Structure 1
Amino acid sequence: MEQFTAFSDAERRRLDELVSDRRERHAIREDIIADGAHSPDCHVILSGLACRYKILPDGTRQIMAFLIPGDLCDAEIFILKVMDHGVAAMTPTVTALVSAEDMKAMLRETGCLGEALWWGTMTDLGVLRERIIDHGRRNAYERIAHLLYEMLVRYRMVELTRDDSFDFPITQTDLADATGLTPVHANRTLQKLRGDGLIETSGKTIRVCDPPRLKDVAQFNGAYLHLDRVHEPARVGQRPGDLV
């Protein structure tokens, strides 16, 4: 949230208290909240990796977004009666539970907390819009390049990269479900990205070998992540543009 605005010490303490009060651990593939379910709480990813997904009547799955530490899974649940999609853990994942009443109170505030929550929602919607563009206009090579560059930027935001490397422990089936490709096509596309010297993979770690070139291949424009709203550099000497 501090990619959007700088919090006061009091606001930071309040957030720390909210995410420290109650926590849940989720196993790989376990639903954090199921499609059609309701929860009295909102879930915030503290560690691990999760995804938004939908299962079609024929049993196939579409992954619509990946959720990393700091992301809200279900900010809309206190408004909706039930979820219209599922959120599942891709790795062992820890979430913090924030009550619907606390969420409502923060959203009604006029200070930084309320604005930052709205910023998070707008960014979430921006990611979903990019997935629509993926399926409508990007070819497989551009589609996977765009997803990997987006994840690099998002992991940079929460300081979970190491020399342009990040842990992305998903299977080829997961990648295919996220990009609308078959696992075979997704695998061939990854091999081409490796062969072209754009990425390297080691286990579940991805290293972007040439970030400017990958960004160019992906035709990546980070405006949908709204990093231009940062009031102060996230770290000493770092500016929003450094993240993208």
Structure 2
Amino acid sequence: MRQDLRVAVALAAAAALSTVAVFPYLMQLAPGRVASSPVPLPALIAIQAMQMFVLATLLAWAGLRMGHRVGLGSPLLQRWLNRHGAARPAPLHPWRAAGLGAAAAVAVLALSALLDPLLLPPAKVAMQDVDGARSALYGLLASFYGGIVEELQLRLFLMTLLAWAATWLLRRARGFDGTLPPAAAWLAILGAALLFGAGHLPAAAAVWDLDAGVVARTVLLNAIAGIAFGWLYWKRGLEMAIVAHFAADLVLHVLMPLLTPQTVL
């Protein structure tokens, strides 16, 4: 239990720092919401970071505890912080994880190019007012939030919870040998991916009026990336899912604003 708590605290500290880093991006995307807060900006950032630290510690600890039962978790941090794992662990191939994340981002961009003219209403944001270089810098900072916080919440906690629940049902129905069945893994991957997509609806609402087309487009595009991240979490652990998510966000929120400054994803 203490060893899982040690990993959870390390992840939570990274999540808190990522929360601080995402604020410039949020202020660019929805400046009115931040400006209208009665709390001074430095205090608001500190409060959000502290809240994230507490929440992330609880979610990460719960995810790690459940993960022991279904073979999911954070193998690299467990090995670094607690000396757990095989003496010669299987290679994790971080560059392959980054490549998969970048490929998922390219797939999202290609599908977005097909769907956006059909589904999106006029944007509420003046795209010509967004500076490409500044947007790319803010996107780089926000990529840490996406890679760390969202993977902690959606994969380490939520996907593990779904996998744990599925195996609990299997155990009651016909026994469970301790190995996560592929069907249960894919159920957890898809469930977490859909909720990952739904979690991006508030950001979409800051750019467009939400209607059925915007909702379908936002959930679908983000779920595609979420499936890739979930598969990596299942096969390689949380760290490789973080690498893939970070790489995808670099393509979407750093490279794209530099190439097309008027693009909002």
Query: What TM-score does the superposition give when structure 2 sets the normalisation length?
Result: 0.28
Larger RCO (CA under 8 A, 6+ residues apart): 2
Which structure shows the higher strand fraction?
A: 1
Which structure shows the higher helix fraction?
A: 2
Query: What TM-score does the superposition give when structure 1 sets the normalisation length?
Result: 0.29
